[in-house]
Amino acid sequence: MSTAAQIAANRANAQLSTGPTSEEGKSRSSLNAVKTGLTGRTVLLPGDDVEHYTALVARYMKDFAPVGEQESLLVQSLADTQWRLFRIPSLESGIYALGHMAYKDLFPEEPDPAVRRQLIQTKVYLDYGRQIDKLMAQEARLHRQQEKNYKRLHELQTERARQSSCRLTAAAKDYLKTAETGQKAEFVASTQAIGFEFSLDEIETRAAVIHPAFDRQRLTRHLTVARNNAANAA
């Protein structure tokens, strides 16, 4: 059991561990909060909006609904790439802003303010063009990476859907066999016991596609059940 002295010491230590208090420390702490995802890294820079980033990732996860590690990693990469693409226009604007600050006193002999601004803009590009071109090259590279990830994700999800459809068709065929032999109840009980991935309604719908006559039987059965329920309610 802890002594009174130990309890007092623990409380004192807790007061020393209340988290960062400076803005810089809070920024680092907020970045750490998004390092616990799939890759253990972050694409955020100091000053980036953590809430907007996490909302972007959540939206991508919701829209693409990945299943499994491969799909999840691809969706995470898509969101991270988009975040970097969002950053590029502000970086380009920042380069021009720095250039305008550095060259604000140039061309004093030009009386037209609009012409003078254009001259300064041109000077900025001539002197900072290499950095701007690198930024544009990075943007093109990110777009290529994004297209590659979109394509791979589409392939994985298309194949997953195809396999799921095959399994549903197989389950529907098994269901039709059991229905013909009068063992439907056993089939339903067994699928429910193992936590089958398809609902009975999904299986019956696919069975109706495979065997159109079953659709009429299903409709007749549902009408009969509905009539019985109505009669019992009366």
pLDDT category at 19 given cuts 50, 70, 90 is: very low
Q: Is residue 13 part of a domain?
A: no
How many CB atoms within 10 Å of residue 106?
Answer: 14
Q: Is residue 25 part of a domain?
A: no
Number of domains in the chain: 1
Residue 44 has pLDDT above 60, yes or no: yes
Average the pLDDT over each of 115-119, 139-143, 170-174 and give the range with the smallest value. Answer: 170-174
Mean pLDDT, residues 18-25:
45
Identify the pLDDT of residue 231.
63
Q: Is residue 51 part of a domain?
A: yes
Beta carbons of 33 and 50 less than 8 angstroms apart? yes
Identify the pLDDT of residue 14.
38
Residue 181 has pLDDT above 50, yes or no: yes
pLDDT category at 190 given cuts 50, 70, 90 is: low
pTM over 0.75: no
Q: Is residue 165 part of a domain?
A: yes
Q: Is residue 55 part of a domain?
A: yes
pLDDT category at 218 given cuts 50, 70, 90 is: low
Give the integer Cα–Cα distance in Å for 147 and 208.
39
Q: Which amino acid is at 55?
A: A
Q: Kindly report the average pLDDT of the chain as a whole number.
A: 79
Give the integer Cα–Cα distance in Å for 191 and 171.
10
Q: Which residue has the higher pLDDT, 7 or 193?
A: 193
% of the chain surpassing 70 pLDDT: 68
Q: Is residue 157 part of a domain?
A: yes
Give the integer Cα–Cα distance in Å for 20 and 62.
32
Beta carbons of 171 and 196 less than 8 angstroms apart? yes
State pLDDT tens for residues 103-123: 999 999 999 999 999 999 999
Mean pLDDT, residues 174-192:
72
Q: Is residue 5 part of a domain?
A: no
Domain span at residue 80 reads 47-227
Q: Is residue 38 part of a domain?
A: no
State pLDDT tens for residues 54-108: 999 999 999 999 999 999 999 999 999 999 999 999 999 999 999 999 999 999 9
Average the pLDDT over each of 16-20, 146-150, 183-187, 211-215 and give the range with the smallest value. Answer: 16-20
Mean pLDDT, residues 137-155:
96
